[in-house]
Every structure is written in structure tokens, then in C-alpha cells.
Amino acid sequence: DAGVIQSPRHEVTEMGQEVTLRCKPISGHNSLFWYRQTMMRGLELLIYFNNNVPIDDSGMPEDRFSAKMPNASFSTLKIQPSEPRDSAVYFCASSTGTSADTQYFGPGTRLTVL
Amino acid sequence: AQSVTQLDSQVPVFEEAPVELRCNYSSSVSVYLFWYVQYPNQGLQLLLKYLSGSTLVESINGFEAEFNKSQTSFHLRKPSVHISDTAEYFCAVSFHNNNDMRFGAGTRLTVKP
């Protein structure tokens, strides 16, 4: 199994630009999670999906952030417009969909907004 | 309120010394407990988890954690650490009534020669 796949691995952009992060969960997993990790705030849950439906987006910082899951094998996290304070490592994780299940993390996307 | 607290942000130890990383949680419902490890420039990966049964759980690389319900704790221990154990360790809690998982702030374990 290839594990959770994220792209790009690194992204450098300028303030005001649109950024799209991509995630392919493990095949057969029903839940998908987006996290953001920074030194200051640690690991924060942004949003999670169950069976492609957003269940909890209370962690999405503001309207500049949006996430979609058009099908079971693909999700995107978009930031428009990006700001320097969005610089962080963004992780996608997937699980089989119950609270007892392990979450499997992707390698992350390191975003730098100049 | 449901939360996870890791009491130490950094733990430096010498190689072959014992280590304990502390984790406490608060919850009004039953929980499942996890420890994840993050090596530099990688995503988190599961180290061990407690779901039910024996309160002592072990990982394949010598770590163990014990669920203590009365103290609402799930401390991680290893009797003798290696340089390769240097990483950040996250305690996490999920709740029986939903799929949400809460992570602690992390403890950076640094093993020195």
C-alpha cells in the first residue's frame, strides 16, 4: 500500500496567491483529516470528512480556507488569498472511520508564504 | 471539556537511561488513547494504542504505556532509550461518541550520547 499521498511536498508562494494542497487517502479508508502544524500552535485539526462529507470544519481558521472531497480518493485544501501567517506544515490523514481506528498520516506539505 | 495535556514540552535524556513522557486527559465520555511519534521531516505514525482490556500496552520498539483511569493518565515509558528514539511524541485521545481525535501539544524527546 502506498500510504497517504500528499502533493506538493513543498510550496513557496507569495502573499495573495492561491494555494491548493492535495491528498490521496489510503484506499478503503472512509475518514479523511486535514491538520496544520506550527511551532507556535502545535498540531491543529482543520477539518475532517466522513464518506466524503465534511463533518467538522470548526478548526478552519477563516473563510480564506476551504476544503473539498469530491470522491473517496481525493481531497483538496485551498487557501485564497494566502498570507505569511499561513506558513506551516499541512498534514492529511485517513482512517477506516471509527474512533478506535489509527489515523495514517501523509508526509505533509511544507507551505511558505512570502 | 475534552482535552489532552502533555506536561513536558521537552525531555532531554542520555542514551540507555529510562524515560517517561507524561499525558493526562479530561473527558466526560469513554476514550481510546494513542501515542504517535514524529521523526524529523515526516508525518506522525502510530506507536501504540489502548482500546480495551489490559491497561498496559507495548510497542514493537520497547515503549510501553499504561492506562490509568482513576488518574486519567496514559504515560509513555521506555526503560532504556536509544539515539534513534529522538523524535516528537504526541499523545492523542478519541472519544467513543464521535470520530474526533484530540492531540496533545507534543513532547520533544532528545537522546544524547
For B50, name the nearest residue in chain A, comparing CA atoms only.
A100
The answer to whether residue B101 scores a pLDDT higher than 90 is: no
Which residues in chain B have their CB less than 8 angstroms from residue A97's CB?
99
pLDDT tens-digit profile of A40-92?
888 999 999 999 999 989 889 889 999 999 999 999 999 999 999 999 999 99
pLDDT tens-digit profile of B34-83?
999 999 889 999 999 999 888 999 998 899 999 999 999 999 999 999 99
- Burial status of residue A107 (CB atoms within 10 A of its CB: 0-12, 13-18, 19 or more): middle
When scoring B35, B44, B52 by the number of chain A Cβ atoms within 10 A, the one with the most, hence best to mutate, is B44
> Which candidate from B43, B94, B105 shows the least CB-CB separation from A91?
B43
CB atoms within 10 A of CB A78: 15
Dist CA B107 CA B113 (whole Å): 19
Instruction: Find residues 39-98 of chain B whose CB sits inside 8 Å of chain A.
Output: 42-46, 49, 51, 90, 94-98
* Residue type, position B79, single letter: P
Signed CA dihedral, B13, B16, B18, B21: sign only: positive
Omega prior to A8 cis, within 30 of 0: yes
